[in-house]
Structure 1
Amino acid sequence: MKRIIVLMLVVLVAGYSYGQKKPKINQAEKARSEGNLGEAKDIIDQAIVFDKLKDDGKTWYYHGLVYASLDTTSNPDYQSLADNPLKTAMESFAKADDLEKGNSGFYTTDAIGLPVTKEQQLNTLWSYYLNKGVENYQNDNNSEAYKYFEKTTIVQPEDTTGYIYAGSVAQAGKEYDKALKNYYHLINELDYKGRDTFYSIIYIEGVVNEDNEKALEVIRKAKTIFPGDRDFAKSEINALVKLGRQEEAQKELEAAIAAEPDNANLRYTLGVMYDETGQPDKAEEAYMSSLEVDPNLLNARFNLAVLYYNEAVELIKAKNNLGISAADQKKAKEMQANIDKSLKEAMPQWEKVNELQPNDRTALETLQYIYTQLKMYDKAEKVMNNLDELGDEEG
């Protein structure tokens, strides 16, 4: 009895094996081309596990076509048939090529019988995603635009266009991690040499992420690619200053000034660096040098005015701390002369600041104090009236 049961099982298994119908992959392609993606998927999914078809590159090529169609279809009935169909499609195309030892001649035929190669089909797929990305970006839908631009990089990973667009749209949407992922891939993996991409990375790392070390690393990479670009040289100086590496910054600044002697901003930046490191004499020299190039450079004028004013303030503090002895009074009189000298040096600088930036409260209040200290009461009263009017406007 047991033997009969075993024989029956063998017969049933054998009957099942011989009873499997060979999937027709051409039928899968026909269903796909006619838009019947559910049928196409059913057939091709059976084909890739069928013994006589699973090692045929053409099977996997059609499998890729079907899943690419599932990813681009607008029919909601088909959109949910597969998870991440584009990934599946690209893996299938890769397997098809591998089975053909990289020498594939895969193609389909169009409506009039002309061949359409796999390369042409991938280019069409890439263009579809790119156009959808642009369309969504123009409609202010950054997240959808990013999704489609990212898909272009999956279809053609060696093409820079998708990464540039994906990075730009992510940056516009303040999704900085996504932007950096694409930008770094461009400059590190694809050896892309776009100035704007480097500028974007430097901005995100330095300003958004406040990682000046990382920004400096990218700046220096950019300088090797664009050795004559002065903007990257200036960015390096700024990063070094922020990192407190003043000696390096000073050397770079001096080199930059030598290369660009008419750049007042570079001279001003050198003055700021000296200011911040407690070298007022060198700071004054740099600010004056900057103003010789551009007398209307507000930042340099303001810093020079503050420098002179602070000298007077320190002297005033020291004078106020003196005693009432005859010796102290004599010293106070001597110090007053130096105070007046510093205030007189500061006065035209603050007047110029007020001229360049009218109704600046800081400049007006400082001028009122200077005029009063120098007993220029008419001017002090006029400034006080300006401040009163300014107060009325703000109130």
Structure 2
Amino acid sequence: MKKIIVSLALLAVFGTAFGQKKVVRSAENNLKKGNYEEALTEINEAIQNSETSGDPNTFFVKGKILTKAYEVDSSNTESTLKYGIDAFEVFKKAKEMDNGGKITKEIDKDVLADGLMLPPGLRGEGIPWLKYLSYAKALDAYEQEDMMMAYKFFKLTADIDPTDTTAVYNTAYTAAFNEDFATAKEYYKILIDNDEYVNPAAYFGLLGIVLEQEQNNEEALTILRDAQKDYPNEKIFSEYEISILIKLDRLDEAKTSIEESLEKDPRDPNNLLRYGYLWEQQGDLDKALEYYKKSAEVKDDFFDGNFYAGALLVDMAGKIVNEVNNMNDADWEKYSDSKLKEADDIYRESLKYFEKAIEINPDDLRALEPMYGIYNRLKQPEKAEAIDKRIQELKGGGN
């Protein structure tokens, strides 16, 4: 009698397990028929039951159902996205339970062969297919100029496959566009840490956030030094480093960096200009003027070199004029004429640089305004009047 009772109990257990597996098969059938809500209800029931909740196939089936719902929902809204996120989490759960077995191989089965999409019966229904759908939805949202949803679909794509550098870059870019700068930085750093990604674009994106949004010069300096190690031929990184060192008033470091750069390229106008600026900051105006002039000489259309040379010459002439104004009567009688002639000669020299500057950039008020004063001082009223007219036009006061 006891044997009969035990047998009946076993039948009950097997019957329950068989019943739950039948529910899983029914969910798969409903998936094939397109009855996604019924399929999801059934598979959730199986996941809640102890007899099938430990089977990785149960979770694989749920992942396939969620992925199909994700695929057919063309609205590409937050609710669509949730299907995709949930599917990815379920697939990961199934792989964890399967521990490299048959289900894992099915979940990781590719959707492409030699770059071509496989037909539905042959391609995978797991994670690679989910990634493919996510990227397609991201592109669709981007084309529709829905930058927030583009960002979220790109992010899911990148989370599915962090080695996909295009998806990771697009995630960082669209995150920054949507002012989620913390996420943008995170994904730019993922690219930087990827040895297979050989493109300075990630550094540029990261620096844009750190310098423009966070205004963190110290962090930018660290990033720039890493960038120079990874991309030693990108001169712009060393130029940025020098500019930041100057901003941070770390002039000795900046000087060393510029000198190293000028050894490699002694005709780099930007570094010649910065070197002149460093000498000016240290009070050696003759040395500063030498390098400002060099920067203008090596590049014919270099506005900054001409402007800085002209501006420094004006400052030097102005100091002489102030010196004359502060002379006592005896010194004034003795030295004023020669000193004022020296100042006027320097003003004339400054004009050569300002005139070249406005030839390069005719609308730059920084160059035009001192020219007006110099022409007046040198008694060239027609030129002064023409410059004044141009200034007024640019300021909106012309006829």
In the TM superposition, what is the alpha-carbon distance from 1:114 to its structure 2 partner? 4.4
d(CA) in 2 for partners of 1:97 and 1:243? 51
1:54 is matched with 53
> Are residues 147 and 367 of structure 1, via their aligned partners in 2, closer, same or farther at CA, if it must alter by over 3 Å?
closer
In the TM superposition, what is the alpha-carbon distance from 1:124 to its structure 2 partner? 1.8
CA contact 1:107–1:116 (8 Å) conserved in 2: no
1:200 is matched with 205
Deviations 1:139-194 (A, max 9, x none): 21111111111111233244333211111223344443332232122223777442
Matches within 5 A, 1:128-277: 128-188=133-193, 192-277=197-282
Task: Give the AA of the match of 2:349.
Answer: E
Which is further off, 384-393 or 179-188? 384-393
In the TM superposition, what is the alpha-carbon distance from 1:85 to its structure 2 partner? 3.9
1:387 is matched with 388
d(CA) in 1 for partners of 2:83 and 2:359? 66
> Are residues 92 and 296 of structure 1, via their aligned partners in 2, closer, same or farther at CA, if it must alter by over 3 Å?
closer
In the TM superposition, what is the alpha-carbon distance from 1:113 to its structure 2 partner? 9.7
> Are residues 54 and 290 of structure 1, via their aligned partners in 2, closer, same or farther at CA, if it must alter by over 3 Å?
same
Task: Give the AA of the match of 1:222.
Answer: A
> Are residues 232 and 166 of structure 1, via their aligned partners in 2, closer, same or farther at CA, if it must alter by over 3 Å?
same
In the TM superposition, what is the alpha-carbon distance from 1:206 to its structure 2 partner? 1.5
> Are residues 382 and 207 of structure 1, via their aligned partners in 2, closer, same or farther at CA, if it must alter by over 3 Å?
same
SS at match of 2:52: coil
> Are residues 98 and 326 of structure 1, via their aligned partners in 2, closer, same or farther at CA, if it must alter by over 3 Å?
closer
From 83, 100, 103, the equivalent of 2:101 is: 103
Task: Give the AA of the match of 2:100.
Answer: G
Task: Give the AA of the match of 1:332.
Answer: S
> Are residues 156 and 252 of structure 1, via their aligned partners in 2, closer, same or farther at CA, if it must alter by over 3 Å?
same
2:33 is matched with 34
TM-score of the pair, normalised by structure 1? 0.82
Deviations 1:258-285 (A, max 9, x none): 2122322221122123223433122111
In the TM superposition, what is the alpha-carbon distance from 1:355 to its structure 2 partner? 3.6
d(CA) in 2 for partners of 1:368 and 1:45? 81
> Are residues 369 and 107 of structure 1, via their aligned partners in 2, closer, same or farther at CA, if it must alter by over 3 Å?
closer
Task: Give the AA of the match of 2:316.
Answer: E
1:92 is matched with 90
d(CA) in 2 for partners of 1:91 and 1:30? 23
SS at match of 1:186: helix
Which is further off, 18-27 or 56-65? 18-27
2:330 is matched with 326
Which is further off, 288-297 or 168-177? 168-177
Deviations 1:8-55 (A, max 9, x none): xxxxxxxx9999653521111111122211211121112123232122
Deviations 1:40-81 (A, max 9, x none): 1121112123232122121121122223334444289xx97x
Give aligned-pair identity as a percent: 25
1:8 is matched with none
2:350 is matched with 346
In the TM superposition, what is the alpha-carbon distance from 1:233 to its structure 2 partner? 2.2
d(CA) in 1 for partners of 2:386 and 2:124? 82
SS at match of 2:48: coil
CA contact 1:23–1:46 (8 Å) conserved in 2: no
Deviations 1:89-113 (A, max 9, x none): 333222322332212246499xx99
CA contact 1:354–1:364 (8 Å) conserved in 2: yes
In the TM superposition, what is the alpha-carbon distance from 1:329 to its structure 2 partner? 3.4
CA contact 1:149–1:162 (8 Å) conserved in 2: yes
CA contact 2:63–2:87 (8 Å) conserved in 1: yes
d(CA) in 2 for partners of 1:283 and 1:207? 29
Task: Give the AA of the match of 2:202.
Answer: T
SS at match of 1:326: helix
Higher radius of gyration, 1 or 2: 1
SS at match of 1:296: coil
CA contact 1:107–1:115 (8 Å) conserved in 2: no
2:372 is equivalent to residue 373 of structure 1: no
SS at match of 1:48: helix
2:306 is equivalent to residue 308 of structure 1: no
